[in-house]
Amino acid sequence: MTMGENTQPIDDLRLFHTGEHPCGYWPDRVARDLVLDPRDPRLPQLYPDALSWGFRRSGDIVYRPHCRQCRACVAVRIPVADFAPDRSQRRCAARNAGVETRIVAALRSDEHLALYQRYLAARHPLGGMDEHGAVEFDQFLVGSWSRGRFVELREKGELLAVAVTDVIPGALSAVYTFYDPTHEARSLGTLAILRQIEWAKRDGYSHLYLGYWIDGHRKMDYKRRFRPLEHFDGRQWRRAG
């Protein structure tokens, strides 16, 4: 089979549909996913192509939404060479000018885990994720085969945020970001993307993948403010209007 741009046919690639499960974005909907065979030993090599096909990584699972009657989730990415921050993003960068960026190995520390748990307790109370411990942290954010990095945002040594970022040939992928909920007003999620864009530009990566954008969803709206933005239409990437 072949999917997406600039790829060779992969005739023996196996994909599976999950069963229906509660949608993580709309409480009145059910969802299901298309998943690359998690037992395929070629997953590390397939992953860059899978990103270009609109897939995403969660732990060791590479998936994309494939719901029966909904196509709301749209894979998006930033062509970093053309990116220019808008006024709000420039204010965010200026407000956080004293924040230092450190790119470190994707290895859990007690400091990372404590920040992650504070974030989940504030952002996802009683949703199941707020009970995540060290095992769930490693399963969800690190995985066993990805080439991930942690982008740490620190101010005077204090850890404010961590952006889990995958490194693939030619691109970066923003997997997940968690931050200190007491600094909500500082827009640390936006700052994390700005710093990932800086990293991509500095090291010559062409794109930063942002996962899925959903039109009209409050928690996803920030992604459309990164311009220009490309979206995957199921066959190819197109520049958003």
Q: Are 42 and 110 contained in the same domain?
A: no
Q: Are 142 and 57 contained in the same domain?
A: no
Considering the entire predicted model, what is its pTM?
0.92
The domain total for the chain is 2
In order along the chain (241 residues), what is the average pLDDT of each group of 10 residues? 47 91 92 97 96 96 95 97 97 98 98 96 70 92 94 98 98 98 96 98 98 91 94 94 60
Q: Are 56 and 92 contained in the same domain?
A: no
In a domain, 116, yes or no: yes
Q: Are 68 and 108 contained in the same domain?
A: no
Strands 171-179, 158-168: parallel, antiparallel or unpaired by DSSP? antiparallel
In a domain, 3, yes or no: no
Q: Are 98 and 22 contained in the same domain?
A: no
Do residues 37 and 14 make contact, with C-beta atoms less than 8 angstroms apart? yes
Domain that holds residue 53: 15-73
Q: Are 98 and 39 contained in the same domain?
A: no
Do residues 62 and 43 make contact, with C-beta atoms less than 8 angstroms apart? yes
Q: Are 177 and 99 contained in the same domain?
A: yes
In a domain, 192, yes or no: yes
In a domain, 238, yes or no: no
How big, in percent rounded to 5, are the helix, strand and coil portions of the chain?
Answer: 30, 30, 35
Amino acid 110: pLDDT: 98
Q: Are 141 and 96 contained in the same domain?
A: yes
In a domain, 1, yes or no: no
Place of tokens 């949608």: 23
Q: Are 175 and 56 contained in the same domain?
A: no
